Structure 1
Amino acid sequence: MTSHEATPPDLSQPPFGGTPDPAAAARITSRDVAQAAGVSQAAVSLVVGGKWRGRVSPAKAEAVRTAARELGYRPNLAARSLRMGRTRTALLVVPALTTEFFARVYTGAARAAADHGFGVVLYPSPEGLGPARDPFDSAAAALDGVIASSMAAEALTALRDAGLPLVMLDSDPGDDRAGATVNLDIADGARQLAAHLTALGHRRITHLAADVDSWTFALRARAVANALADVPGTLLRRQPAALAVDAGLHAAHAALTAPGPRPTALLCDDDIIAAGACKAVRRLGLRIPEDISVTGFDDLALAVAVEPELTTVRLPAEEFGEAGMRALMAVLDGDRPAPPTLPVELIARGSTAPPPAHAHNSARPGG
């Protein structure tokens, strides 16, 4: 993931693939491509600029790409950028570089950016709370726009002050300071987990809630509480945990050894917290899922690295990044796109099962 940091767009390479001789490519013009593809020069310009949808048919767009590739056409993106007053560079701000989720968001965003001849600079802001410093002395001079993923609104003050178009991912859609928002259906994911556990028969559930002051985690907490409030006889407790394996371990240990009836399920805000919870369960001499069910969120690689594998919610991270970049391109074109919400999916695995028949007698491990 870190190998992709601060990578500017390579304007020396042809956007349509191939490795043409630079001198030969310089002699190929958009008129040559237009003649070869049987379209107008205007159509070539639209396809090369990534603005052909709705203006040029898919068949003609493919003909332009094929002709450009075969002729070795290399448009002068630098000159076009100067004419348009653009650097053809977007900034992707993420809370951390240590979670694969954000690497996948970057992959999707970079793929969509390449379709428009843009490059993406990846920039971390501590834990998404900030403040995120202006990564350049003046971001407005070096960037066309910003995509911020899973960030607290206050963390982006410096970037907002730069006056750059801003797209927020995994953020409050009511925040009118962003040019657009793109979200995953996080609330539905939390509801799916709650429904999964209650359908198995669990009624004593502890929510290991991420101890992060952000919109997305507040949304999860509300969704879990609302879903379980509709199930008679359910006891929901909340135990905060930082986004780390050790923090998940300590939070789960506290939840499982607290006075009173022991929970039969731990609903975790993140796969990383869930991995720590699994360690705590085993250290207390309990079994997963026979004694305690554990769920995660995100469907990281970690979810299938633990044993048993985690029941979790799969988030389409790459599609999320793509949607964010497409929204930024729309904002740069003067549009304000409707905020899309991408669906998520419950993945049931071996870490969940019905509660033990004697659960009502279990006050604590060994009790």
Structure 2
Amino acid sequence: MARGSTRPTSRDVAQAAGVSQAAVSLVFGDKWRGRVSEATAERVRQAALELGYRPNLAARNLRLGSTRTVLLVVPALTTEFFPGVYTGAARVAAGHGFGVVLYPSPEGIGPAPDPFASARSALDGVLASSMAADALTAIRGDQLPLVMLDSDPRGSLGAATVNLDITDGMRQVADHLLGLGHRRFLHLAADVPSWTFEVRARELAARLGARPGTSLRTAPTPLSIERARTAAEAALGAPGPRPTAVVCDDDLLAAGTYKAARRLGLRIPDDLSVTGVDDLGIATAIDPELTTLRLDAELFGERGMQALLAVLDGRAPDAGDIPVELVVRASTAPPGAS
């Protein structure tokens, strides 16, 4: 091949690697698996590197009717959980030559203004959290290949769903507190119309209801530390036997419960055990450190993007929920511990 200013082509790469141009296209289109060998794909990549070849993605995308861009729709970025989902999703997408546009719903849930003149022409697919699912209507994202995160797989809008095993997580929380001897519970429940929070409430009630002698109150609250403080203070100060354990739907709600406990003169965990969900940075910033469910946000994003890429490629995504882990810290103890 003549050097100088001449730009290497896919034909040059094919000749250098000893393969067809079709094989080069498969490798750089990330369609080679099952069609050419790993050794052949590596030979193509090495030849391209040595020649300084860069595929013309814009021309290829125009030819294939693909933008190599997907949209990640999440609630407002009020905690580090959803940025973690984005990090995991973007990492997988980049490895397959895709870009990710992050689209947070301004109010946390519900529709938001359409950032595209035409989402269908600007995007190849959508990855969406159930808490922001209503935003899909505004951008007509429900007409694109769609994978739902944290969503009821029955009747889902998406071609696939990817979920954390929050059902097992709530079992872990309930069994931990029951094992410590707690029988009077308060559920500080996120007042958000979302499948994931419905699952948490349902599983907690079922697990505690199966143990004789237990009681459960529920106090709904928005996802806000101050609103959670108000709700927890009212519930813990209500007439009747005070709960000895508070199960919070989110670490932010747990932080609000800490503030309520201080106002009421209650010590954690001596007078009150508290648990959260997410294992955010705040979980180890508050004192005592919080017992909470660890949800791997980056793995969640990775699995979601892998599922969407499978849908775009006409393959069945991997099945199975992502395990979660209860991280036991100093905010839980037997009732009346000294």
Pairwise same-fold verdict (TM > 0.5): yes
Q: Which deviates further from its counterpart, 128-137 or 267-276?
A: 128-137
Matches within 5 A, 1:23-34: 27-34=7-14
2:136 aligned with 1:156? yes
Q: Distance in 2 between matches of 1:39 and 1:196?
A: 60
The percent of aligned pairs where both chains have the same amino acid is 70
Q: Give 2:281's aligned residue.
A: 301
> Per-residue CA shift, 1:264-302, capped at 9, x if unaligned?
111000001101111111222221111111100001111
Question: Contact conserved, 1:206 with 1:266, CA < 8 A, in 2?
Answer: yes
Q: Give 2:202's aligned residue.
A: 222
Matches within 5 A, 1:136-285: 136-151=116-131, 153-160=133-140, 163-285=143-265
Q: Judging changes above 3 Å, is the alpha-carbon distance between structure 1 residues 243 and 50 closer, same or farther for their aligned structure 2 residues?
A: same
2:328 aligned with 1:345? no
Question: Contact conserved, 2:76 with 2:109, CA < 8 A, in 1?
Answer: no
Q: Which deviates further from its counterpart, 42-51 or 104-113?
A: 42-51
2:304 aligned with 1:324? yes
Give the 3-state SS of the residue equivalent to 2:161 in structure 1. strand
> Per-residue CA shift, 1:306-335, capped at 9, x if unaligned?
111111111111111111112212222234
2:313 aligned with 1:333? yes
Q: Which deviates further from its counterpart, 142-151 or 53-62?
A: 53-62
Q: Distance in 2 between matches of 1:198 and 1:26?
A: 73
Deviation at 1:229, TM superposition (A): 1.2
Deviation at 1:133, TM superposition (A): 3.5
Q: 1:119 aligns with which of 92, 99, 121?
A: 99
- RMSD value, Cα: 2.3
Deviation at 1:129, TM superposition (A): 2.9
Deviation at 1:163, TM superposition (A): 2.0
Q: Judging changes above 3 Å, is the alpha-carbon distance between structure 1 residues 291 and 86 closer, same or farther for their aligned structure 2 residues?
A: same
Q: 1:45 aligns with which of 18, 21, 25?
A: 25
Q: Give 2:79's aligned residue.
A: 99
Q: Judging changes above 3 Å, is the alpha-carbon distance between structure 1 residues 100 and 25 closer, same or farther for their aligned structure 2 residues?
A: farther
> Per-residue CA shift, 1:164-196, capped at 9, x if unaligned?
111111111112421211111111111111111
Question: Contact conserved, 2:119 with 2:141, CA < 8 A, in 1?
Answer: no
Question: Contact conserved, 2:148 with 2:156, CA < 8 A, in 1?
Answer: no
Question: Contact conserved, 1:26 with 1:74, CA < 8 A, in 2?
Answer: no
Q: Distance in 2 between matches of 1:276 and 1:24?
A: 66
Q: Which deviates further from its counterpart, 112-121 or 151-160?
A: 151-160
Q: Distance in 1 between matches of 2:297 and 2:5?
A: 37
Count how many residue pairs are aligned between Structure 1 and Structure 2: 336
2:84 aligned with 1:81? no
Gapped regions of structure 1 (runs ≥ 5): 1-22, 359-367
Deviation at 1:34, TM superposition (A): 4.3
Superposition TM-score, scaled by structure 2 size? 0.91
* Letter in structure 2 aligned against 1:289: P
Superposition TM-score, scaled by structure 1 size? 0.85
Q: Distance in 1 between matches of 2:80 and 2:5?
A: 38
Q: 2:295 aligns with which of 315, 318, 328?
A: 315
Q: Judging changes above 3 Å, is the alpha-carbon distance between structure 1 residues 117 and 341 closer, same or farther for their aligned structure 2 residues?
A: same
